[in-house]
């Protein structure tokens, strides 16, 4: 079971080199070359690199898949599918899935919503300095602690119930597992009313992935503490930067 590191074009501050194969997505391919890492496969439409950088990618990669800018799948989806077509039993760790455009970040989080990727969901991990995202199908699962990660959150992608039993199994039911006063919770509130790009509101999950922008976020809570209220940051004195 090969372990594949897949480098997208977002925040690449938290990476390691303990992998069998290295795959670059769009500008992530150029990042691998700059770091002196092998580039086993480069995938994307490469609209975020210069012509000179693209020539370097093509010269340095063992294999290149150059897609058209207009396509149904994102560059990352194409790269994930290419990996599983070549190595169906591989485990993919994806770096740089966050930190760039919000629509890209949301699409990356919901990778398993792609029917072609869904069968491989348990073989995917998305990682950055603050997050380690794993996917599991409906059912009962054992969630093991990840070193360096202090909080646990769940995000259902289907109409399934999440209960506090998981938090109890981890011995954390007094801290997490339900939305109650005094407990830790990470969540955001989005206000769609009056925002034309979020209409019609019949399928908000689709809007969350493809349409929501940063200025649509009304409230943000981290570990149970509100850090944004009505779009205003509460933890930073913005006047001091003016």
Q: What is the pTM of this model?
A: 0.66
C-alpha 58: how far from chain center? 26
C-alpha 4: how far from chain center? 16
User: Which residues, including other chains, have CB under 8 Å from residue 162's CB and lie 6 or more apart?
Assistant: 154, 156
- At the second CATH level, the architecture of 1-136 is 3-Layer(aba) Sandwich (3.40)
From the options 2.40.50.100, 2.30.40.10, 3.40.50.720, 1.20.58.100, give the CATH code of 186-242.
2.30.40.10
- Return the closest-CA partner of residue 28 out of 148, 4, 68: 4
pLDDT tens, position by position, 116-137: 999 999 999 998 888 888 998 8
SS (H, E, C) 84-103: HHHCCCCEEEEECCCCCCHH
Domain with CATH 2.30.40.10 in the chain: 186-242
Domain with CATH 3.40.50.10240 in the chain: 1-136
pLDDT tens, position by position, 20-65: 999 999 999 998 998 888 999 999 999 888 999 999 999 999 999 9
pLDDT tens, position by position, 151-188: 777 777 665 566 666 666 667 677 766 666 777 777 77
């Amino acid at each position: 079971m090969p372990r594949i590191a897949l480098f997208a074009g977002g925040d690449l501050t938290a990476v390691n080199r303990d992998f069998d194969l290295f795959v670059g997505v769009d500008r992530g391919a150029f990042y691998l070359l700059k770091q002196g890492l092998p580039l086993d496969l480069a995938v994307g439409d490469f609209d975020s690199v210069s012509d000179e950088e693209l020539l370097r990618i093509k010269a340095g990669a063992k294999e290149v898949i150059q897609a058209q800018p207009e396509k149904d799948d994102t560059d990352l989806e194409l790269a994930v599918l290419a990996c599983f077509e070549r190595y169906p039993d591989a485990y993919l760790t994806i770096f740089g899935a966050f930190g760039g455009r919000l629509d890209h970040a949301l699409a990356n989080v919901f990778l398993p919503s792609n029917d072609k990727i869904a069968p491989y969901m348990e073989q995917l991990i998305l990682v950055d300095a603050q997050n380690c995202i794993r996917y599991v199908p409906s059912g009962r699962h054992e969630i093991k602690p990840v070193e360096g990660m202090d909080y646990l959150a769940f995000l259902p992608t289907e109409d399934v119930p999440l209960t506090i039993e998981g938090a109890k199994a981890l011995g954390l039911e007094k801290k997490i597992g339900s939305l109650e006063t005094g407990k830790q919770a990470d969540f955001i509130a989005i206000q769609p009313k009056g925002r034309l790009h979020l209409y019609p509101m019949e399928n908000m999950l689709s809007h969350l992935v493809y349409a929501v922008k940063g200025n649509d976020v009304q409230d943000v809570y981290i570990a149970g503490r509100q850090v944004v209220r009505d779009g205003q940051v509460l933890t930073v004195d913005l006047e001091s930067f003016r």
